[in-house]
Chain A
Amino acid sequence: MRRIALAVVALVAALLLIAFPVWSAAWESSRYATTILRDMLVLAIFALSLDLLVGSSGLPSLGHAAFFGGGAYAAAIAMQRLATDDLLVGLVAAVLVAAVLALVIGIFAVRSAGIFFLMLTLAFAQLVFAVAFQWTDVTGGSNGFSGVHRPTFLGMDFNGAEALYELVATIFVLVVLFLWRIRSSTYGRALVGLRENERRMRALGYNTTRLKLSAFILAGATAGIGGALSAYALRFVSSNDVSVGRSIEAFVSVLVGGSGTLLGPAVGAVVVLYIERVLPSTLQELTGRQFAEAILGVVFIVFVLAVRQGIVGLARLAYVRARR
């Protein structure tokens, strides 16, 4: 009974999320809210994919933007070169490029652990950044790659703001389902084992190197989907999408929302984008200055210091306490 109730609640929540532009249409700020929410969901997909490494497997990657940005460039460039608007072409290109990048970087990175893993992923992602920044003929270099086509799929046109939002929200729901399925699978459990005790996992007969590499590729490919959606949403890709800053955005989202919780990173993404996109105009009005990044930094420090389990982790703890 409880499982059915839970499934119904989840389904209703998903439908409400996807239909946001419809039921918010009467609001004065509906269009603005839809745009912000769309970008929050893109960041959420990116953060969720990172949490497969940080939360599920205990692999603190600080270079995840390589796959997000790689996917964004791949979708934009493939659709332009092949002169097509087909959504599938963009998504497949994004997933393929992100997965190959993850394979190559992963081969080096998964041999290490902890702080070294963090350093190596950061450094290698910066290589991808350097390529994106310097390979002007293909990526547009420092000018970025503008004029990305909005996609079509099976006769549906996602050119309009509402349609595109609904596409992003639908894919977000699918990604959540995908990750939820992985977490409860034998594979997902093996990742948890990896996080908790790699030595024991090896002794039990798990090929931990291959396990880590596969998680790295899976997370990278999912981040690539997020990147492709970002390219569609903004109609623009730039080296920012591959930068350390973008990696940090995702990492902060994961930790603030709660790593290792299914939806925590999505909650974190909402907080992070609120600070980055909504707060600056408020600050500007109040103080005439902008220092949103500093506020983001302070929030992050507070969560690392005092609320390491994140918002969702904290809520879960409170729920368990209340039931006792």
Chain B
Amino acid sequence: MIDIRDLRREFGGIKALAGVTLSVAEGERRAIIGPNGAGKTTLFNILTGELEPTGGTVRLGGVDVTGARPHQLARRGLARMYQRNELFDPLPARDNVSLALCARRGPYRPFTSPPKSERAEADALLERVGLAERAAVPARELSHGERRQLELALALAQRPTVLLLDEPTAGMSPAETSRIAALIDRLERALTIVIVEHDMDVVFRLAERITVLHEGRVIAEGTPQQVRGDTQVNEVYLGKVVA
């Protein structure tokens, strides 16, 4: 589904990505882990088109999408949950989701009202992420955990084929963490999911395969068991966290 070849990105001489090659199969659930500064967010920003790579190629569903703009990639079925929530703060949760639904349906015309069915569809999505009671509350008044749930609802509203999750549990309490992990776990199996996450319990619970990034390179890849047993990975990363 995702096919990355020798992806490179430099920031003023600093190599954030130094030749990453990575393949994710359709329907696979892949985690990308690594210490801070390993290049995970840079990788996501390139995958979603917000950043142009210095070199290398990205293929999505067999099509070369290197350098495509974010909205083009979104229309190819790519959706993203941001590490820091990117919501429409003054708008109610329901309207946040509606805007996402509308983008998929398109085209947006100056004289066409949103269809009546949209409200029900938005409410269904909110219910799915556990925000049914909060539909009328402005996004900025939601708790942090709820905002993360809404962030996920926005991504799901796009009906993506590929879902990129950038630290979905960032800043969450243990209870919130397990709730959102369960939510992600229950998503349709056909959906390809790439998840960047620091919480190793969440990673080992959700991921079928794990890629380890370090200093802009892939240093290991395999099943959770294989990665756990990899000495190099333990040295640079896991050793510090799992002990």
Contacts and interface: CB of A to CB of B under 8 A. Distances in A.
B86 A187 contact: no
A182 B75 contact: no
B108 A196 contact: no
Which of B80, B104, B109 has the largest number of chain A CB atoms within 10 A? Answer: B109
A282 B88 CA distance: 47
Given A185-B113, A187-B108, A187-B109, A203 B98 contact: no
Contact of A182 (B50, B86, B110): B110
The secondary-structure label for the interface of chain B is loop
Question: In which size bucket is the chain B interface?
Answer: 20 to 34
Interface in A41-64: none
Interface string B88-115: 1111000100111011101011111110
A202 B74 contact: yes
A207 B104 CA distance: 12
Interface residues of A, number: 24
Which of B74, B75, B103, B158 has the largest number of chain A CB atoms within 10 A? Answer: B103
Contacts of B109: 185-187
B128 interface: no
Which of A196, A205, A206 has the largest number of chain B CB atoms within 10 A? Answer: A205
Contacts of B82: 200, 203
Nearest to B70: A202
A203 B74 contact: yes
Interface in A198-228: 199-208, 218
A30 to B, nearest CB: 38
Contacts of B135: none
Given A192-B88, A200-B86, 7 more contacts: A185-B111, A186-B113, A189-B102, A189-B114, A202-B69, A203-B48, A206-B108
Interface of B: 48, 50, 69-71, 74-75, 79-80, 82, 86-91, 95, 98-100, 102-104, 106, 108-114, 154, 158
